[in-house]
């Protein structure tokens, strides 16, 4: 699981702090240095680490902490609170349209990030909540992607709308919406094409979809395994097309986890869900406080 190494390092720092009765300013500064190293090793964005350490240190060196009964414990509490704040404090839900109105979600991301899998995972979640989702195959460049969406949609018992690979994605989205209106689908999830790198064509295509149908939520899927690159990708997508939230996949893997810790601070956009495995049930809503507890171990 991601963060294993970070957790171990933080626990060492905390053990050390707890073992001291009183804390001097130097003790706190030394601990901060170690926490900083641990976060950087976990591939957390440098600026984010700097800001985080500054916040924790300012609070930890205050009189009430250092003269308190249990200063080590207090510092740990501060680290926990600042980790939660870093990840956005509150759980963010995907905003759905009120009543029976159709919500259109556009899924975006680089190829291999886990977009198609996550699209099907998300549809399953909303089906359980009583929605009637329609998955839409807008990735017209890889026939395998259309097939994959169909197979996963079937597994989830969710309808998949496809027009093959010879139409423009924006036209497919428009037709899908027409289909949804006729068939009573109240959640339309567009699976768009990813490429290996961000390029103008990909952005133009997403833009065209947005200009053709009313997209209510644009969700970016990023791969935790790619660390800071994932965060850079998120920043660029947000600047170019505007995103409402992020899903971080593959947090179950042997990753350092830095992407999950940095993305909110860098882009200002919340993590909505995290992918914890290849199975279609392996998608978890994101709770900053629970994630902080996991990290602290
Ligand atoms: P796309 O190109 O972005 O549509 O990516 P896919 O949905 O095809 O996923 C690429 C690979 O990542 C597939 O083998 C998925 O099973 C795998 N994958 C997706 N999400 C997760 C996850 O959360 N954890 C793990 N371990 N694998 C994932």
Please indicate whether residue 195, judged by its CB atom, sits closer than 6 Å to ligand 1: no
Distance 185 CA to ligand 1 centre (A): 26
Neighbours of 176 (CB within 10 A): 25
Neighbours of 128 (CB within 10 A): 9
Nearest CA to ligand 1 atom 5: 114
Q: Which residues are annotated as a binding site?
A: 109-116, 191-195, 249-252
Distance 223 CA to ligand 1 centre (A): 8
Please indicate whether residue 249, judged by its CB atom, sits closer than 6 Å to ligand 1: yes
Please indicate whether residue 112, judged by its CB atom, sits closer than 6 Å to ligand 1: yes
**Exposure of 93 by Cβ count < 10 A (0-12 exposed, 13-18 middle, 19+ buried)?**
exposed
Please indicate whether residue 278, judged by its CB atom, sits closer than 6 Å to ligand 1: yes
| pLDDT interval class at 261 (50, 70, 90) | very high
CA distances to 66, 132, 219 from 188, in Å: 54, 9, 13
Nearest CA to ligand 1 atom 16: 278
Neighbours of 9 (CB within 10 A): 17
> Can you give the pLDDT at residue 130?
96
Distance 118 CA to ligand 1 centre (A): 7
Q: Which atom of ligand 1 is nearest to the CA of 148?
A: 8
User: Considering only CA atoms, which of 119, 208, 217 is closest in space to residue 169?
Assistant: 208
pLDDT 10s digits, 193-210: 998 888 899 999 999 999
Please indicate whether residue 115, judged by its CB atom, sits closer than 6 Å to ligand 1: yes
Please indicate whether residue 111, judged by its CB atom, sits closer than 6 Å to ligand 1: yes
pTM value is: 0.96
To the nearest whole percent, how much of the chain has pLDDT over 70?
100
Q: How many CA atoms lie within 13 A of 288 on its CB side?
A: 21
Q: What angle do CA 143, 108, 245 make, to 5 degrees?
A: 155
Find all residues with CB under 8 Å of 118, minimum gap 6, and list them: 107, 221, 247, 249, 273, 275, 283
Q: With b meaning 16 or more CB within 10 Å and e meaning fewer, what string describes 19-57?
A: eeeebeeebbeebbeebbebbbebbbbeebbeebbebbb
- Across the chain, the runs of DSSP E, i.e. the strands, are 103-109, 133-137, 159-161, 187-191, 217-223, 245-249, 271-275, 283-285
Please indicate whether residue 2, judged by its CB atom, sits closer than 6 Å to ligand 1: no
Q: What kind and span of H or E run contains 228?
A: helix 227-240
Cβ(192)–Cβ(107) below 8 Å: yes
> Can you give the pLDDT at residue 255?
81
Beta bridge partners of 273: 247, 285
Please indicate whether residue 120, judged by its CB atom, sits closer than 6 Å to ligand 1: no
At 194, give phi and psi (nearest 5°). Answer: -110, 160
Distance 197 CA to ligand 1 centre (A): 17
> Can you give the pLDDT at residue 170?
98
Radius of gyration of the chain (CA): 22
How large is the ipTM? 0.99
Please indicate whether residue 277, judged by its CB atom, sits closer than 6 Å to ligand 1: yes
pLDDT 10s digits, 19-69: 988 889 999 999 999 999 999 999 999 999 999 999 999 999 887 777 777
For residue 108, the 8-state DSSP code is E
| pLDDT interval class at 136 (50, 70, 90) | very high
pLDDT 10s digits, 76-92: 999 999 999 999 999 99
Please indicate whether residue 121, judged by its CB atom, sits closer than 6 Å to ligand 1: no
Q: Which of 114, 120, 141, 220 to mutate to test the pocket of ligand 1 (most atoms within 8 A of CB)?
A: 114
Q: Which residues are annotated as a binding site for GTP?
A: 109-116, 191-195, 249-252
Distance 229 CA to ligand 1 centre (A): 17
Cβ(161)–Cβ(182) below 8 Å: no
């Amino acid at each position: 699981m991601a963060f294993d190494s970070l957790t171990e390092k933080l626990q060492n720092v905390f053990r050390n702090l707890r073992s001291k009765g009183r804390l001097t300013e130097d003790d706190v500064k030394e601990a901060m240095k170690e926490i900083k190293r641990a976060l950087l090793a976990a591939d957390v964005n440098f600026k984010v680490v700097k800001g985080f350490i500054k916040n924790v240190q300012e609070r930890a060196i205050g009189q009430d902490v250092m003269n308190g009964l249990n200063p080590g414990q207090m510092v740990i509490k501060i680290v926990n609170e600042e980790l939660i704040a870093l990840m956005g404090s509150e759980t963010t839900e995907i905003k759905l349209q009120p009543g029976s109105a159709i919500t259109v979600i556009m899924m975006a991301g680089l190829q291999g990030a886990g977009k198609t899998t996550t699209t099907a995972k998300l549809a399953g979640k909303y089906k359980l909540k009583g929605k009637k989702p329609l998955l839409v195959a807008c990735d017209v460049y890889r026939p395998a992607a259309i097939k994959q969406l169909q197979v996963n949609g079937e597994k989830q018992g969710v309808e998949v709308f496809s027009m093959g690979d010879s139409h423009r994605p924006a036209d497919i989205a428009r037709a899908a919406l027409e289909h949804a209106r006729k068939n009573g689908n109240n959640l339309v999830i567009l699976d768009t094409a990813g490429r290996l790198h961000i390029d103008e064509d990909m952005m133009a295509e997403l833009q065209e979809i947005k200009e053709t149908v009313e997209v209510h939520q644009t969700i970016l899927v990023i791969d935790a395994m790619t660390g800071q690159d994932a965060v850079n990708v998120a920043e660029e997508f947000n600047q170019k097309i505007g995103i409402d939230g992020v899903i971080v996949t593959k947090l179950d893997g042997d990753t350092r986890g830095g992407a999950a810790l940095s993305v909110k601070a860098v882009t200002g956009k919340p993590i909505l869900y995290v992918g914890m495995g290849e199975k279609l049930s392996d998608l978890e809503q994101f709770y900053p406080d629970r994630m902080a507890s996991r990290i602290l171990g």
